[in-house]
Amino acid sequence: MTLNRILSIVFLLGALGLGYMLFRSVDDVMQEEKRIAATEARIIEKLQMLRDAQTAYIASNGEYAGNWNDLKNFIENGKIWLVQRSETTTLLEYGKEEITVTLDTLGSVNVIDSLFNERKYPNFNLENLQVVPGSGGKEFEFFADKVERNQRQIPVFEIRDPAPINPKRRENNKEKALRVGSRTDSSTSGNWE
């Protein structure tokens, strides 16, 4: 064998090795991004469940649940009232309209059957509701209180991921961590929306 052939084989093997290492590094990054996206999707689904539960809680009790036990108890034993609203409009003599609103309570359904039924959430587990998916057992940060706005007390809540898996969400003291609600405003939106 000549020196050219030996060098060609060495460079070919080196190029194949470098190509494989480049492929593995890109593939590893893509797999990690897929894992992060899948975990965040599960976290968002759970935050949506918690938002639905808090919305139903405030509709029934006039304030948000203050802790996990109250919220779980409401999901397990609470009821959502079914109300039918009807309006009738009457034309008055002088051309104005009078609207009469009638509210009729038709009955109630259990919160767990209505919001967390088997069809909507087939793997719903009330005992693990506060556990962040993919965190190894860490619980969501839970906050509920009232803040003053225009000399009125308005209820607020925030449920937040305490240890984001996504490195971009951990920046600046975890300010972009997945959360629903707000500690300062009457909001039920999530920061992923």
* Tokens 């962040």 sit on residue: 132
Q: Give this prediction's pTM.
A: 0.76
> What does each of the 193 residues of the chain score in pLDDT, given as a tens digit?
788 888 888 888 898 888 888 888 888 888 888 888 888 888 889 999 899 889 988 888 888 888 888 888 888 888 888 888 899 998 888 878 888 999 888 888 888 888 888 888 888 888 888 888 887 888 888 898 888 888 888 999 999 888 888 777 777 667 778 889 888 888 888 888 7
Instruction: Using alpha carbons, select from 162, 142, 144, 165 the residue that is nearest to residue 42.
Output: 165
pLDDT of residue 147: 87
Rounded to 5 degrees, φ, ψ at 38 are: -65, -40
Instruction: Give residue limits of the domains in the chain.
Output: 36-182
Give me the pLDDT at residue 96, please: 84
Structure tokens at 133: 């998916």
Instruction: Give the span between the Cα atoms of 12 and 15, in whole angstroms.
Output: 5
Q: Which two tokens stand for residue 97?
A: 């309209």
Q: Determine the pLDDT at residue 173.
A: 65
Contact 46, 62 (CB under 8 A): no
